[in-house]
Amino acid sequence: MITIIDYGMGNLRSVAKAVEKYTDRIAISDDPASIEKSDALIMPGDGAFGMAMDHLTARGWIAPILEFINRGGFFFGICLGFQLLFSTSEEFGEHRGLGIIPGRVVRFRPDGHKVPHMGWNNVELTRDAACMEGVPSGSYFYFIHSYYPEVRDRSWIIGEAEYGDKFPCIVGRDNVIATQFHPEKSHTIGLRIIENFVRLACS
């Protein structure tokens, strides 16, 4: 079973519809106990980092998510769900994240580029990863965000985009994969990432 985490942040249905193209073993859940029956978790999200962590904490998701990841469960973070994997964020103050990946989420610098970074941008892959099978380096994906992570351990980075400066937009290791862009809104090439994740999680 692939569980999409409903913690009150963002439109989950578009992600669910994309996953349903490849499996019917999917559920949207607002109950942390559902993790016990899950083979994989997907955590999308839109909105502010601090509010998202407050929602996850208040609804009892933090410990079950960390335990799931630590025992090798497949996890896919999307957009805000990507950022929440990091140690801290400076968005509207200082906030602690899940701490899976060492790094700090910071705002794009005002260097002539509009913030938020919104629209299509190409992504250069920095290394091979199972979830990127069949995805050519340089492919375009759909972004909408004002913050990005400064990653302390570059071995986590799978892909980077450029918006003023280069920034990590795909990270992963072993059972964890996350994208700053929205694969569910990125047409065929984005769906390929979701298909790869479903295949890995359900094999």
In the prediction, which pLDDT does 165 show?
87
Element (DSSP H or E) covering residue 55:
helix 49-58
> In a 10 Å sphere around its CB, with 0-12 CB exposed, 13-18 middle and 19+ buried, how is residue 110 labelled?
exposed
pTM (two decimals): 0.96
DSSP 185-200: GSHHHHHHHHHHHHHH
For the chain, the helix, strand and coil percentages under 3-state DSSP, each to the nearest 5:
30, 35, 35
Measured in degrees and rounded to the nearest 5, phi and psi for residue 53 equal -65, -35
| CATH number of the domain that residue 106 is part of | 3.40.50.880
The answer to whether the beta carbons of residues 45 and 79 sit under 8 Å apart is: yes
The answer to whether the beta carbons of residues 182 and 121 sit under 8 Å apart is: no
Range of 165's domain?
2-202
Tell me the three state secondary structure of residue 44: coil
Q: How far apart are CA 81 and CA 170, in angstroms?
A: 12
Count of structural domains within the chain: 1
pLDDT tens digit string along 6-45?
999 888 999 999 999 999 999 999 999 999 999 999 999 9
Q: Which residue has the tokens 């407050």?
A: 54
Q: How far apart are CA 103 and CA 152, in angstroms?
A: 5
Residue 145: strand pairing partners: 117
The structure tokens listed for 14 are 């578009």
pLDDT tens digit string along 95-120?
999 999 999 999 998 777 899 999 99
Q: What are the residue numbers of the active site? A: 79, 182, 184
pLDDT tens digit string along 55-100?
999 999 999 999 999 999 999 999 999 999 999 999 999 999 999 9
Q: How far apart are the first and last CA of the chain?
A: 11
